[in-house]
Chains A and B, each alone.
Chain A
Amino acid sequence: MREMEADVIIVGGGASGLAAAISAAEQGAEVIVFEKANTTGGCANMAMGLLGVETKLQKERLIDCTREAAFQKFMDYTHWRSDARLVKTYIDQSASTIEWLEDMGVKFALPSKYFLGSEATWHIVQPKTGAPGLRAAATMIKTMTDRAEELGVKICLESPIQRLIKDEGEVIGVVAKDKDGDIEAYGSAVIIATGGFGDSPEFIKKYTEYEWGKDLFSYRIPGLTGDGISMAWEAGAARDRMDMELVFFAPNTGGYAPIELPFRQPNLFVNLDGERFFDEAVVENPVFSVNSITRQKNRTVFSILDESIMKEYEKNGLDLVNVVTSNISMDDFKQEMNDMIKNGNDVLFIADSIEELAEQTGIDKEGLIKTFNQYNESCKSTDKLFNKNPKYLKPLVGPKYYALKFAPSAYGSLGGIKINYNTEVVDNDDKVIPGLFAAGTDANSICNPDYVFVLPGNTLGFAVNSGRMAGTNAVQYIKENFSEE
């Protein structure tokens, strides 16, 4: 068996692992990163940007979300379930992380909100060309990879980790495998950052209340099979709360597909009984929406509109805009709708009457007719059921009716490895496992119970910031414990 040695060994070369590698190397540590894919960046290649609070970019644009306010908002939103010291460190460090990335050469577009009412904390990466949208953060990965290598970090691609090596309770290395066989890599500290279990239906079924393909249609970024979580548990790590980073999609359409565009608007949403179940204005907050969808029968709901609303959207634009879909147009929607009609599908329904719509969708017919009548009545006065903002009360009059099926989905997973606020992994007695750190989605317990959509940029934000912390903490640990030289 071949052997390697370094100060810090990092499992996973995604955003979190790279951040950890760079911060450790900047402090003089020798670092090896093991990545199982052919290139670096993991899910960050599909990401857009990360959270920053009190950054120069925000100040220049008079965005006045302060650290204190952001912390308060975060803790209010999570009801103090999250580790407050970890959240505080994360938020306080976030601005310097943005500048740290800018110093490497990463450029950011305007700090952005996710939807109206959220804070403009989302620092979306500015790609070299194209809109700062989906995949924009791939550009940042190139910069981070270059920076890591410039600092002497060794990145071993296509080299998955098999397990951790422990000696007398301390983690002292990993066993990796590449095309030539097994490698034992020894280090004074190991940082796990493998990105969670979004691609493991087994994990999802076992550790969350969902079943992939049945009531969950989440992104499954290949390779996110919970590797780091499993090996940490094997080494004695405690299990922290595990959940999905929930949003909602029309099943099997890819997520934020153009077909969803007019349906992700505050019109009529019903469950299979044909009843409304939330104030549709909430639709702009994906996590609030999915929480209410999860409570409905079969975890299935429908967004319904008619030709008059469709025409109005084509002419005047949508009611609600969110950043992710802001560069999709109604033309894209129409093109995809035509393709879906041509190729067949089981989520989009078009009918000439309410009754026909009920038959096609399987919604209870009487319930749906009753709701239609009540809803159209409300549009003339007020929404007595949920008190929806009157400007979103548009009657459904036909002649064509459209419905799109929505169900719970997710960007990926959240949590698994229990860490303390120093990113050290702890066991079931909350004792630190010496030499073992975790960062990013594997250890993201701060979005508890829900992703904090009011402060957007938390997945990548926590990944990069906790990675950076773990890198620093690992070097500190080495200095304190292995400083005979």
Chain B
Amino acid sequence: MSNIKITIDGMELCADETKTVMQVAEEADIYIPHLCHHKDLHDVGGCRLCVVDIQGKEEAQTACTTKVQPGMIVKTKSEKLDEMRRLSMELMLANHVDDCTTCPKYLKCELQSLIQYLGVSTSRLRRTLNAVTVDTGNPLIVRDLNRCVACGRCVRACRDIRGVGILEFAKNEEERTYVGVKDNLTLENANCRFCGACVEVCPTGALQDKAGVFKEGNRNDVLVPCKNECPAGINVPKYVRFIKEGNYDEAAAVIREKAPFPKSLGLVCMRFCESACKRSGLNGAVSIRDLKRFASEVDSYKWKERAFKKESTNKKVAVIGSGPAGLTAAYYLAKLGHAVDVYEKLPVAGGMLSAGIPDYRLPREIVESEIDLIREVGVNILTNHKVDSIAKLKDQGYDAVLVAVGTDKGVRIPIPGANLKDVHVNIDFLRKDVTHLDIEMKKTVAVLGGGNVAFDCARTAKRLGSEVIVVCLEGEGKMTASPEEIEEAREEGIQIYNNRTFVKVDENDGKVTGIVCREVEDFHFDENKKLVLNIKEDSEHTIPAEMIIFATGQKADLDSFGELELSQRGLVSINDSYHTNIEGVFAVGDAVTGTASVIQGIAGARKAASNIDIYLGGDGAIEEELSVEQPLDPNIGLEEGFSHKECSHYSCVPVEERIHNFDLMTVGLDQESAKCEASRCLQCDLRPKLTKMKFWTEYKVK
């Protein structure tokens, strides 16, 4: 490698001899029109838009394929060159539909920007119309060959960058060159890896992501949907790849970077990642939660060596509530050097994780083991300590207080009979053993509600020996409970009555005998978020039951905190910094957002902890690199049967073995199946690594 001097458009530039004129011009931010050239691909000089004059050469040369030479004098701009370029454009436009207005790439299209730059409108050559049907059969990639200009970028990206090589040039019956899939197979059958590189490098609208696969937004974020959708921003592709490689400790460390409670999340996370997973359109999302469970189960805590722990700041923080939000905030605040006391009104720490979610889904020992790690960084948890007044707490010398009390007050719908003896609310029922609440079980139990908590109640009652039915307003398929919960409950013999509204609890001499319902045709919420029901005529009927459990939502119990400003929904109001209306008092979790997921609680708590640290004079930095850097190999290669690949996910123990006890009812993945499942990942994180091409508008010299 040696440095030589060349001149481009009168500008003297130092250049590396191995480079092309195009590369040197690009480095100097000088625009040379181009279409088939892409920074990450080897150049072929096909589109001939990058022709330049080189002193001493009679014919114009393509800048992308011409190596620089000492003393070379290059001219990139002249009317003659533009004329040659326009002719090349017209040849390309003759193979491209005239109509840009229906193209999703409008204003994001390199060809369109070249039309602007070179001043070409329609081609004078034969016009190509929408002659080929747009191929929308694939769930992820739309191919519109009417917009293909045969630049071959996709062919090169697929073959040279990815080592997959399933795209190739072909000719149709009219002798028109187009880019086809090998042997005219579907993308699935050609073993496409669906990495999206072809779409990414396509300069026109010929290859597009199917609408809805990605959200709008910052490219680097939205192109990796699992990570983007995770409220805590866990780097999913990174830990999935570590699992595939058998590097489980590092996988666990990646998760830990953004969330304590990985084991709990591995069992009960709402998995926004999987809903967003690009593979779900193909043959089912990657079972990310199961992979998380696997990684956290085999974790040997090597990440602890890399975790930060700051010197003591001599500041004291009180956290009210030891749920996932409260403890996550406490964890980071303690790591930041503050002394943290967590006040918990129940005899156990963990909030809904230990006193809400039943043990058969999330065993208390697992939560306890995760809380041990939080205690390890210095968090002091005081159970059986109900806080009655924030003011009193502040008088004890705390510099900041975080309210993280959650929403643990079940809601009783005000219908006649709602307060009878054998009518209970969800949370009281679920934590009756913790609070020593004496609830006498009955033979038949009706749970009212269609969410996950309703099913927790129903399946708990089932395990206590009752016959259980679930009655809810939502229709089949509209219930908010996860599909597995519903399916597994049905397997356990729990009956579900959909489309019901509740009229009253039937009684006989104070004893519950059933729930009187009406059938609902449909329902919606009006502008004031008020429920509007369309009730079927003469549909009133009674569903017999001796015990009723309301599982129709929860609210925050804020009776002791009258000084806090609340929102219209009865939740704690905070500003962007998680600060409440009271100086030094912050709030986070369900008490702020309304009942949400564990991961949302954790994500909020991280931000709250950071803000409290800033309030206390720190820098608010809580990010930590617990895992090693992961080199990304863009060459993913071909894999036979990749599109159809299926592995196992968690399994449920048989019904007979699970309905008589509260033992964990699911079995996670073993090493082999975890590696297999991890290998189904489409590695969406590779795509943002491809260089985003600049348009003429973005160059300094154009």
Contact = CB atoms under 8 A, between A and B. Distances in A.
11 contacts: A127-B120, A127-B121, A129-B83, A134-B98, A146-B702, A157-B697, A254-B101, A254-B102, A255-B99, A339-B131, A343-B133
Contacts of A155: 697
B120 A130 contact: yes
Interface stretch (A23-31, A37-45, A286-294, A474-482): A37-45
B106 interface: yes
A45 B116 contact: yes
Nearest to A219: B101
Interface string A321-345: 0000001000010011001000100
Interface string B316-343: 0000000000000000000000000000
A35 to B, nearest CB: 9
B116 A141 contact: yes
Contacts of A327: 122
Interface in A136-165: 136, 138-139, 141-142, 145-146, 155, 157
Contact of A128 (B99, B101, B118, B696): B118
A45 B697 CA distance: 14
Q: Is the interface of A mostly helix, strand, loop or mixed?
A: loop
Most chain B CB neighbours (cut-off 10 Å) among A39, A41, A343: A39
Given A38-B113, A139-B116, A339 B129 contact: yes
B106 A40 contact: no
B210 interface: no
A157 B124 contact: no
A45 B100 contact: yes
Nearest to B119: A128
Q: Which 8 A-B pairs have the closest CB atoms?
A: A128-B119, A37-B107, A139-B119, A127-B121, A130-B121, A219-B101, A136-B121, A138-B116
B112 interface: yes
B130 A128 contact: no
B694 to A, nearest CB: 9
Interface string A164-188: 0000000000000001000000000
B220 interface: yes
Given A221-B101, A332-B127, A135 B115 contact: yes
A116 interface: no
A221 B102 CA distance: 7
A327 B124 CA distance: 10
B314 to A, nearest CB: 32
B106 A222 contact: yes
A39 B124 contact: no
Given A39-B107, A45-B100, A129 B697 contact: no
Nearest to A145: B697
Interface of B: 82-83, 86-87, 89-90, 93, 97-108, 112-113, 115-124, 127, 129-131, 133, 218-220, 695-698, 702
B254 to A, nearest CB: 24
A367 interface: no
Interface residues of A, number: 42
A251 interface: no
A200 to B, nearest CB: 13
Contacts of B108: 37-38, 222
B107 A222 contact: yes
Given A133-B122, A141-B116, A343-B133, A39 B697 contact: yes
A132 interface: yes
A128 B129 contact: no
Contacts, number: 127
Nearest to B217: A177
A128 B124 CA distance: 12
Nearest to B129: A336
B129 A258 contact: yes
A46 B100 contact: yes
A193 to B, nearest CB: 15
Interface string A248-279: 00000011011000000000000000000000
A256 to B, nearest CB: 9
A219 B131 CA distance: 20
Nearest to A40: B697
Contacts of A40: 116, 697
A4 interface: no
A327 B49 CA distance: 26
Contacts of B99: 134, 254-255, 257
A254 B86 contact: no
B132 to A, nearest CB: 8
Given A38-B107, A179-B219, 20 more contacts: A39-B112, A39-B113, A40-B116, A42-B107, A45-B115, A127-B119, A129-B86, A130-B93, A131-B124, A135-B115, A139-B116, A142-B116, A155-B697, A179-B218, A222-B108, A254-B97, A255-B101, A327-B122, A335-B129, A336-B129
A201 interface: no
A108 to B, nearest CB: 13
Contacts of A222: 103-108
A472 B113 CA distance: 29
A127 to B, nearest CB: 4
A469 to B, nearest CB: 25
A449 interface: no
A42 B86 CA distance: 22
A223 interface: yes
Interface in A99-145: 127-136, 138-139, 141-142, 145
Contacts of A129: 83, 86-87, 89-90, 119-121, 124
A176 to B, nearest CB: 13
